[in-house]
Structure 1
Amino acid sequence: MLNDASGFKHIYLCTGYTDLRRGIDGLIAVVNAGFKLDPRESGSIFLFCGRIGDRIKALLYLLGFFQVFCKKERQKE
């Protein structure tokens, strides 16, 4: 599902540091305050980066529910 971004109408990237300890409600608040957008907008995905830059969270509204996905880069050995 997230391997192909062609299904999204809008991809929003929150620049700068976002506290990734935030849950769904916290990320929704960031979208409302920072982007001045409704996070329930169909076809939109919101991306947030942490301080270190080794992980990213995605917030999207799909089938009537908010979903959060997290991707963490592997440490190089």
Structure 2
Amino acid sequence: MLSLHPAPQVYLACRVTDLRKSIDGLAAVVQEQFQLNPFSTAQFVFCNRQRNKLKILQWDHASFWLYYRRLEQGTFAWPKAESASAHVISQRELRWLLDGLSLQQRQAHLQVNARQVI
């Protein structure tokens, strides 16, 4: 089974995206609209108006990956568009979105940056 390659940065396109766009069209959005480099190691996540489909664009060494996910029931808990820029989230938050959860998981444990065992 193929799984997403973890990326140091994940960018959400909070505004609705026309998912008829493929790799070149989405890479152009990343470059022109977000002023980001589509050839970086980041993941760029796009969602449609109905919030039941998404695409993730990622550069990997010598080629692009384009992941596509379509829900048969329900919708993604996509955040409201506050601006035309991309919103940075963590890999953990991306997993929440893919599982149908919102980015605001109040019950989730906060990240601990421990330096030594007590």
Pairwise TM-score range, normalised by the shorter structure: 0.7 to 0.9
The aligned runs of 1:38-77 (5 Å cut-off) are 38-42=37-41, 44-75=42-73
Larger proportion of strand = 1
- In angstroms, what is the RMSD of aligned CA positions? 1.4
Shift of 1:16: 1.2
Q: Which runs of 5+ in 1 are unaligned?
A: none
- Provide the identity percentage: 35
| Runs of 4+ more than 3 Å apart | none
Q: In the alignment, which residue of structure 1 is the partner of 2:20? A: 21
TM-score by length of 2: 0.57
Aligned residue pairs, count = 72
The Cα offsets for residues 20-71 of structure 1, whole Å up to 9 and x where unpaired, read as 00011100110011210111112x0000000100011000001310111100
Mapped to 1, the partners of 2:38 and 2:28 lie a distance apart of: 9
Q: Which runs of 5+ in 2 are unaligned?
A: 75-118
